[in-house]
Chains A and B, each alone.
Chain A
Amino acid sequence: NAGVTQTPKFQVLKTGQSMTLQCAQDMNHNSMYWYRQDPGMGLRLIYYSASEGTTDKGEVPNGYNVSRLNKREFSLRLESAAPSQTSVYFCASSLITGGDTQYFGPGTRLTVL
């Protein structure tokens, strides 16, 4: 099993450009998450999907949109990138939301110039 995979690994954007980060899991998990990690601020939840067909805002959703394409895939879109969105983005999945182990992808390092 590949676990949780993310693409791309690295990306540089100019202010105002758009892009989509892709995430897939092969563990038959119901719940998927997008986090951003900034120095000294830990892991902050952007959006999550408790199950296929549902999405909910997390702590820092402004400037992002998500799509739960199917049970395996959960994408994160930046419509108009800003320098404040420079961060490392992690996708994660778990069998259920909340009281269950979350498995993280390898991360995407995004720089917005």
Chain B
Amino acid sequence: GENVEQHPSTLSVQEGDSAVIKCTYSDSASNYFPWYKQELGKRPQLIIDIRSNVGEKKDQRIAVTLNKTAKHFSLHITETQPEDSAVYFCAATTGFQKLVFGTGTRLLVSP
């Protein structure tokens, strides 16, 4: 079955810096890769996703890149703000199977 590894487990940046979180997956058939953000005490919420027919997707300050050959995908946050502080989860699926989540990255953005 699918296995997703996520790094780093914690990431501290200064406000305005960029942050990058990386995930690798094991199942070459996986074709859907969402990213969820979970603020303290809240539920996870989807922030961006990418499908395997696309190499990169952007939404304002957030972007996701996918390298199918290497089986890894990354979340990029530019011009970080304190409200970006949260736990971020990557996930992967073949599309007809259940999502498999990474173990999460705690991002702390200091003013």
Contact surface of A with B, Cβ cutoff 8 Å = 33, 40-45, 48, 58, 90, 97-102, 104-107
Q: In the complex, which of the residues B9, B93, B101 contacts A40, with contact meaning CB atoms closer than 8 Å? A: B9
Shortest CB–CB separation between residue B10 and chain A, in angstroms? 10
Shortest CB–CB separation between residue B3 and chain A, in angstroms? 11
* B contacts with A, residue count (CB < 8 A): 25
Residue of A nearest to B90 (CB): A42
A58 engages B98 (CB within 8 Å): yes
The secondary-structure label for the interface of chain A is loop
Shortest CB–CB separation between residue A92 and chain B, in angstroms? 8
- In Å, the complex CA distance between A100 and B91 comes to 11
Chain A residues, CB < 8 A from B95: 98-99
The secondary-structure label for the interface of chain B is loop
Q: In the complex, which of the residues B9, B42, B43, B94 contacts A98, with contact meaning CB atoms closer than 8 Å? A: B94
B89 engages A48 (CB within 8 Å): no
Contact surface of B with A, Cβ cutoff 8 Å = 6, 9, 31-32, 34, 42-46, 49, 51, 89, 93-104
Q: In the complex, which of the residues A41, A45, A99 contacts B96, with contact meaning CB atoms closer than 8 Å? A: A99
Chain A residues, CB < 8 A from B44: 43, 90, 104
- Supposing A43-B101, A105-B43, A106-B43 touch, asked if A98 and B89 sit within 8 A by C-beta, the answer is no
- Supposing A42-B104, A48-B98 touch, asked if A101 and B43 sit within 8 A by C-beta, the answer is no
Q: In the complex, which of the residues A41, A42, A99, A104 contacts B93, with contact meaning CB atoms closer than 8 Å? A: A99
Residue of A nearest to B42 (CB): A106
Chain B residues, CB < 8 A from A106: 42-43
A-B contact pairs, 26 of them (CB 8 A): A40-B104, A41-B103, A42-B102, A42-B103, A42-B104, A44-B101, A45-B98, A45-B100, A48-B98, A58-B98, A90-B43, A97-B98, A98-B93, A98-B96, A98-B97, A98-B98, A98-B99, A99-B31, A99-B32, A100-B32, A101-B49, A102-B99, A104-B43, A104-B44, A104-B45, A106-B43
